[in-house]
Chain A
Amino acid sequence: DAKTTQPPSMDCAEGRAANLPCNHSTISGNEYVYWYRQIHSQGPQYIIHGLKNNETNEMASLIITEDRKSSTLILPHATLRDTAVYYCIVTFPPNFGNEKLTFGTGTRLTIIP
């Protein structure tokens, strides 16, 4: 799986957009970008994933650069409950039979009241 690089920590004011960057310069053509988060002491929670197009769901937006070497997760209106460690993970889709998740150290996002 391609390695990812994320800043270790970020702060964001409540109500503002939180933009979390991720570099994955060695990503291969078949690998997807996934984002998960872990809120204190809970199991990881899926947020969003994408291949090359920008994606949006009820939780967040994912912007992937045209060369696919980096991406940004956007939480449009951060709340205190969004305080968590966010993981950017690059991996193969299920039909490749190798969809295990490789968690790095992630970005610890703190939402400031």
Chain B
Amino acid sequence: EAGVTQFPSHSVIEKGQTVTLRCDPISGHDNLYWYRRVMGKEIKFLLHFVKESKQDESGMPNNRFLAERTGGTYSTLKVQPAELEDSGVYFCASSRGLSYNEQFFGPGTRLTVL
């Protein structure tokens, strides 16, 4: 089966601009997660969707970040306006659902804000 895909692989934008990251989970996976690693720090959880509903968004840093998962398929993470400290690698992961424990991660999107 195809893995989790993320687009773009790299994005370079200027401070104040808007960027939208996309994640396509593995087909049939109800759970979708966003994580990020900034400035060489630890990978941090951002939020968790179950189908189209936000199950847990406790890790979202502030209201400049907006995540959506319309129709319960792919998800987008928009950063508006981007700040320098948003630079890092954004990972998406998916898992099938109840009793399936493994999260499958995508390759990540490297975001650079200048």
Contact = CB atoms under 8 A, between A and B. Distances in A.
A and B co-occur in one complex: yes
Interface of A: 32, 34, 38, 41-46, 49, 93-95, 97-105
B39 interface: no
B101 A94 contact: yes
13 contacts: A34-B101, A42-B108, A43-B4, A43-B93, A49-B102, A93-B99, A94-B101, A95-B98, A97-B56, A99-B31, A100-B45, A101-B33, A104-B42
Interface residues of B, number: 27
Interface in B75-107: 91, 93, 95, 97-107
A42 to B, nearest CB: 6
Interface of B: 4, 31, 33, 35, 42-45, 48, 55-56, 59, 91, 93, 95, 97-108
Contacts of A102: 45
B97 A94 contact: yes
Contact of A101 (B4, B55, B100, B103): B103
Nearest to B33: A100
A95 B99 contact: yes
A95 B108 CA distance: 27
Given A44-B105, A100-B59, A94 B98 contact: yes
B43 A94 contact: no
Given A43-B4, A43-B106, A94 B100 contact: yes
B56 A100 contact: yes
B43 to A, nearest CB: 4
Contacts of B103: 44, 46, 101
Given A42-B107, A43-B93, A43-B107, A101 B101 contact: no
Nearest to B56: A100
A49 B43 CA distance: 19
Contacts of B101: 32, 34, 49, 93-94, 99
